[in-house]
Amino acid sequence: MNAETANVLLMILPLTIALTGLTAAVLIDRFIFREHRRALFVIVAVLASLIVQNYFEHSLSERTTYSYWRLILSIYGYAVRPFVIVLFLRLVGKRDKLFYVALFIAIANALLYLTATFSGMAFSINEDNHFIRGPLNLTVYAVSVLLLIYLLFLSVKQAYRVRKIESVLPILNICIVGVTIVLDWVTTKNMPVSFLTGGMVICSIFYYNWLHLRFEREHESDMLRGQNVKLMLSQIQPHFIYNSLSSISELCETDAKRAQALTDDFADYLRYNFTALTTEKLIPFEKQLEQVGSYLNIEKARFGDRVNIVFDTRTKDFEVPTLTVQPLVENAVRHGVCKRAGGGTVTIRSFETGDYFVAEIADDGVGFDVNAVTTDGNVHVGIENVKTRLSYFGDTLEIESKIGVGTTATIKVPKYKSIPDGGKVR
């Protein structure tokens, strides 16, 4: 194997392996949309054809014959490369009017270079196999830059809307394509594979990673909404509704004003839980305490002195995900103090340390073995979903419990961190 052949393989083999790996990844990956999968397959096919075209055009350029075949290969390269950028547009944006305008521009560019078969307007190759630029030879560069500007606009617009670190990838791809276009323009040595073709292979891999991460992010949002439903259904059980209405009914005959107040608390409780189904935002801890208060008023009306509540909230100026504090308080009441003969006390504390805001929900109820799998499905679903919701926003939940002593649930909220899904920085 001579040095030139080794250099050719050194350029082509890594690109071929990269496209093969990308094809395999797209085939088995379920976390990208079908239309994006199809676009990636087309991109891989076009880039593979461009690698072949680059190689054979390079080989023919070293000879004094085969000018016709070199002409055909050159036409193909000039005509097809802008279509790769159009496919990138399809990955980033929608098939709207501007997308079809971009597609029309790429088609017009292809038609222009097809004229090389009978005119030197774009370029020509003479009988000695020398490449001759025509007056419109730079059209492919102008078209590529125009398409890249539109691609940059879509990428920046989406990055501003989503505000995720992975949104940088499409913008980075534009930089890669722009740099490789300049390198192809200023490089005088004829390369077996153009810088632009190699750069587009790298971009296709970055786009795949970006699509995968974006799908996962959207799936996380769907999962979060599903957890909202599970938590709400695990809390608003039929017997709780019946018992609450029964307590209100009894008070109507003995204490009408208290019955009215309890009805308002019950309405607030239901409103909060149903509203939580459609929100993924963080809400102030103080607001969550208001909802907890509505729930505790209902339980106090049912159980009287069996349920005692102590508030020790030294700080309230922080935010937590919706449906996190209330489920822990409900677990403390239903599965802690109410299962203990004579009832008990639920203590809700909040304070801050150097790095964290801390919320604790403690009870002196029956307790449980935290290392054992609970037999109560609602308790298990509630705690696990609260943990998942908190971790999604960078917070943590720790459970400590001793049988016969009680349980303490501790939420830790870092003071300084980035919040997902368009949130601010604490």
> Could you tell me what percent of the chain has a pLDDT over 70?
85
d(Cα 414, Cα 285) in Å, to the nearest integer?
14
Q: What is the pTM of this model?
A: 0.59
Listed residues 171, 190, 217: the one ending a domain: 217
Reduced to 3 states, what is the DSSP secondary structure of residue 186?
Answer: helix
Structure tokens at 268: 């607030």
CA angle at 392 for the pair 387 and 395, rounded to the nearest 5°: 65
| Residues 46 and 162 reside in one and the same domain | yes
Residue 420 lies in a domain: no
> What total of structural domains would you count in the chain?
2
* pLDDT 10s digits, 10-63: 788 899 999 999 999 999 988 788 889 999 999 999 999 999 999 998 888 877
Domain of residue 288 covers 236-414
Listed residues 186, 217, 248: the one ending a domain: 217
pLDDT for residue 98 is more than 80: yes
Report, as an integer, the average pLDDT of 288-297. 86
Is residue 158 within 8 A of residue 188, CB to CB? The reply is no
d(Cα 218, Cα 33) in Å, to the nearest integer?
11
d(Cα 414, Cα 387) in Å, to the nearest integer?
15
d(Cα 219, Cα 251) in Å, to the nearest integer?
46
CA proximity to 328, closest of 409, 234, 273? 409
| Residues 336 and 211 reside in one and the same domain | no
Between the alpha carbon of residue 343 and those of residues 302, 304, 310, the distances in Å are 12, 10, 14
CA proximity to 244, closest of 272, 263, 257? 263
Is residue 71 within 8 A of residue 116, CB to CB? The reply is yes
